[in-house]
Amino acid sequence: MINIGDIEKFSIVDWPSKISVVVFLQGCPWRCPFCYNQSLQDFKTQGNASWDNLLHLLEHRKGVIDAVVFSGGEPLMQQNLAQAMDIVKEMGFEVGLHTGGYDPQALEKVIFKVSWVGFDIKAPFDAAKYKTATGGFGDVEKIKQSIKILLQSGVHFECRTTCDPRILEINDIYQIADTLADFGVTEYYIQKYRPIPSDTTTQESDCDKFFKDEKLIAYLQSKFQIFETRK
Ligand code: SF4
């Protein structure tokens, strides 16, 4: 059905306000320098959990869990994602999606099956900057198209950016915010980067600079109906 890298059996943070099971799907076309899920990147790796494992878990979690969040990796790369979502919905669970918007056509196929989307904005909408933040993907038009699909769908979604000081400057966050606000996005979060194990040089103060910049925070608060920091 789908290649599941791993399953988080209980989460209250992956879909804010919902208690969810999180399904980490195996395979991602991107190579973000701040990736904490590198074991999920390779498409050929057989994941640690099976579709049957997930169904079995969900059968026993009815009444306890509200939702299933399809995360990654990049869920939109899974050929049978729509079918998997249908089955989960038939079991009585709401469906959430984490994506970077890599494939707008794939997003279109599933958007009306989901009740919430967490959408990762990696960098300002500039090919070179997106390439740096994703390890090579610079087709920002696809990202814009995905955001338009979200807005037109009416499905509740948030945009969020991991503030990795190795690849983003304060000014980049201003640029991201301006573009999103111009699109009509109303909910935005900035997330603190926690150095991955191979990053031995980034200091806590480097990671904190986005969150201590009062001018930036005030600007973001003025741009969005909902803006929060996640540290
Ligand atoms: S999109 Fe997510 S899973 Fe893929 S490389 Fe980036 S952080 Fe890792």
Give tens-digit pLDDT for 221-230.
999 999 999 9
Neighbours of 175 (CB within 10 A): 16
- Average the pLDDT over 185-205 and give the result: 96
Nearest CA to ligand 1 atom 7: 35
The burial of 32, by beta-carbon neighbours within 10 Å (0-12 exposed, 13-18 middle, 19 or more buried), is given as buried
∠6-84-74 over CA atoms, to 5°?
50
pLDDT of residue 206: 95
Please, what is the average pLDDT of the chain? Answer: 97
Express each pLDDT in 135-175 by its tens digit: 999 999 999 999 999 999 999 999 999 999 999 999 999 99
pLDDT of residue 1: 82
Query: Residue 87 is encoded by which pair of tokens?
Result: 């089955």
Query: Residue 17 is encoded by which pair of tokens?
Result: 């306000």
pLDDT of residue 63: 93
Express each pLDDT in 41-53 by its tens digit: 999 999 899 999 9
∠36-25-106 over CA atoms, to 5°?
115
CA 89 to CA 221: how far, in whole Å? 35
User: The domain 4-230: what is its CATH number?
Assistant: 3.20.20.70
pLDDT of residue 113: 98
- Average the pLDDT over 107-135 and give the result: 98
Is 207 a pocket residue for ligand 1 (Cβ < 6 Å)?
no
C-alpha 65 to ligand 1 mean position (Å): 26
For residue 54, pLDDT over 90 is answered with: yes
